[in-house]
Amino acid sequence: MAQASKGYAPLQERISKEGRVLPGNIIKVDGFVNHRVDMQLMHELSREFLRRFDTTGVTLVMTVEASGIALASAVAADLGVPLLYAKKAKSDNIEGGLFQSQIMSYTYKKQVTLLVSRQWLSDKDKVLIIDDFLAMGEALRGLTEIVSQSGAELVGIGVAIEKGFQPGGQRLRDAGHHVESLAIIDAADPEKGITFRD
Amino acid sequence: MAQASKGYAPLQERISKEGRVLPGNIIKVDGFVNHRVDMQLMHELSREFLRRFDTTGVTLVMTVEASGIALASAVAADLGVPLLYAKKAKSDNIEGGLFQSQIMSYTYKKQVTLLVSRQWLSDKDKVLIIDDFLAMGEALRGLTEIVSQSGAELVGIGVAIEKGFQPGGQRLRDAGHHVESLAIIDAADPEKGITFRD
């Protein structure tokens, strides 16, 4: 079993204080992560990622729309490289020439296709993937697939909150990826609250 | 007719250099605004918004997922206030207690509902709305409607790129809003290129 990453105390404290557990293992952090977003916190998490990954030569931060964008944009700004976010459906504004990956969205209970223009990702790129949540890991698996299609180098995957009781994190680590989750939740119970891995 | 905002030269130059016009008046800036995002540029645009609006007492920057988030997160970070982004469809992770507004999405050619939790917006808030694009103005109209439902004060609406040949900007200005667009495009032709308002 690959080494799990260590919890980042300021994030864990914030989750303990303001996060809520809803039936169905839903962890609600929409007051500071994925609806109202505390950008100061996002930049703190960003700096923690930059301590944990060797970002030398990184050319691109990648994420998936929509909830990953705020955190990933903080990391891209702090690194001084562009952000590239995969889109989830074909709109008129994306033409041909696309990297694609089919994933299952458990939030929306349907298959969605991740799309990235071939114009903005190539084998010259060195990529850091960032997302707010890791549960089943489908969005991140899709992103790693797209990075692999492009021939770009993947430095690692930085995640704010991992649901450690769901298999996504383990699958990505077993696939050989360097995954850093700043808070790994091992149990979430509406009555007993949230238990972190360390 | 309300005064149109003045163009911001660094953005106009970037659009002239890297933007492309597709048939159907589509202005493609997906290399630096809404797919791959130049976060340095987003922070430059942010600082320009902070010069143009009186942001004293602003408590919240609001936008709509997904393409508004990168720019709005830069503004929220620079202002030191949270970002609040309206969601576009009901997922399991948003419970009741919602402000809602029905808008027409011309990108996806269907009606969508904007959702904001009542928990994160109230009559104590003073809001600056930020978005990357203004064309028909539906998303921004929806946001102003939600701000109005909440009783919050609206300082203004900051937009990166306005399609001046579509009616959204004029409608928002006619409704009495302070709209600042950093680049207003008056004509976009695949052959003749892009013409800015000033």
Complex ipTM: 0.95
Q: Report B:157-186 residues touching A (Cβ under 8 A).
A: none
Of B42, B34, B30, give the one whose Cα is nearest residue B72.
B42
A117-160 tens-digit pLDDT = 999 999 999 999 999 999 999 999 999 999 999 999 999 999 99
Please tell me the distance from the alpha carbon of residue A7 to that of residue A160, in angstroms, as a whole number.
10
Interchain proximity A69–B73, CB inside 8 Å: yes
Q: According to the model, what pLDDT value does residue B13 have?
A: 97
What is the mean predicted confidence (pLDDT) over A167-178? 98
CATH number assigned to the domain comprising residue A148: 3.40.50.2020
Instruction: Identify the pLDDT of residue A93.
Output: 55
Question: Is A37 contained in some domain?
Answer: yes
- Contact between A59 and A81 under an 8 Å Cβ cutoff? The reply is yes
Q: Is B41 on the interface with A (CB under 8 A)?
A: no
HSE-up of residue A82 (Cα within 13 Å, Cβ side):
15
**Interior angle at CA A76, CA B83 and CA A152, nearest 5:** 135
Is A73 in contact with B74 (Cβ distance < 8 A)? yes
- Mean pLDDT for the stretch of residues A43-71: 98
Any domain includes B3: no
Q: Which residues of B touch A95 (CB under 8 A)?
A: 22
pLDDT score for A106: 84
Considering only the beta carbons, identify the residue of A24, A77, A116 that sits closest to B74.
A77
Pick from B42, B87, B107: which is nearest to A91 by CB?
B107
First to last CA, chain A: 16
Q: How far is B1 from chain A (nearest CA, A)?
A: 31
Q: Is the pLDDT reported for residue A25 higher than 90?
A: no
Residue A119 at interface with chain B, using a CB cutoff of 8 Å: yes
Structure tokens at B87: 């969601």
State the residue range of the domain holding B124. 9-196
Q: Is residue A111 part of a domain?
A: yes
Supply the pLDDT for residue B1: 44
Q: How far is A41 from chain B (nearest CA, A)?
A: 10
A84–chain B Cβ distance below 8 A for any pair: yes
- Out of A39, A94, A95, the one facing B77 most closely (by C-beta) is A39
How many distinct structural domains can be found in chain A? Answer: 1
- pLDDT tens digits for A9-24? 999 999 999 999 998 8
Q: Which of B37, B65, B120 sits opposite A82 (nearest CB)?
A: B37
A111 phi and psi angles, rounded to 5 deg: -75, 135
- Specify the pTM: 0.95
Q: Does B110 touch chain A (CB under 8 A)?
A: no
Q: Which amino acid is at B91?
A: S
B1 domain-assigned: no
Q: Answer whether residue A15 is part of any domain.
A: yes
What is the CA B36 to chain-centroid distance, rounded? 17
Please state, as a whole number, how many other Cβ atoms lie within 10 Å of the Cβ of residue A20.
16
One digit per residue, the tens of pLDDT, for chain B of length 198 reads 445 578 999 999 999 999 999 988 899 999 999 999 999 999 999 999 999 999 999 999 999 999 999 999 999 999 999 999 999 975 555 566 999 999 998 877 889 999 999 999 999 999 999 999 999 999 999 999 999 999 999 999 999 999 999 999 999 999 999 999 999 999 999 999 999 997
Instruction: Look at residue A1 and tell me if it is in a domain.
Output: no
SS3 B43: helix
CA distance A5 to A176: 14
Q: What is the 3-state secondary structure (H, E, C) of chain A?
A: CCCCCCCCHHHHHHHHHHCEEECCCEEECCCCCCCEECHHHHHHHHHHHHHHCCCCCCCEEEEECCCCHHHHHHHHHHHCCCEEEEECCCCCCCCCCEEEEEEEECCCCEEEEEEEEHHHCCCCCEEEEEEEEECCCHHHHHHHHHHHHHCCEEEEEEEEEEECCCCHHHHHHHCCCCEEEEEEEEEEECCCEEEECC
Task: For residue B157, tell me if it sits in a domain.
Answer: yes
Nearest CA among A122, A114, A106, A107 for reference residue A141:
A114
pLDDT of A129: 98
Q: State phi, psi for B17 to the nearest 5 degrees.
A: -80, -45
Q: Is residue A4 part of a domain?
A: no
- Residue B69 near chain A (CB below 8 Å): yes
Strands B60-64 and B126-134: parallel
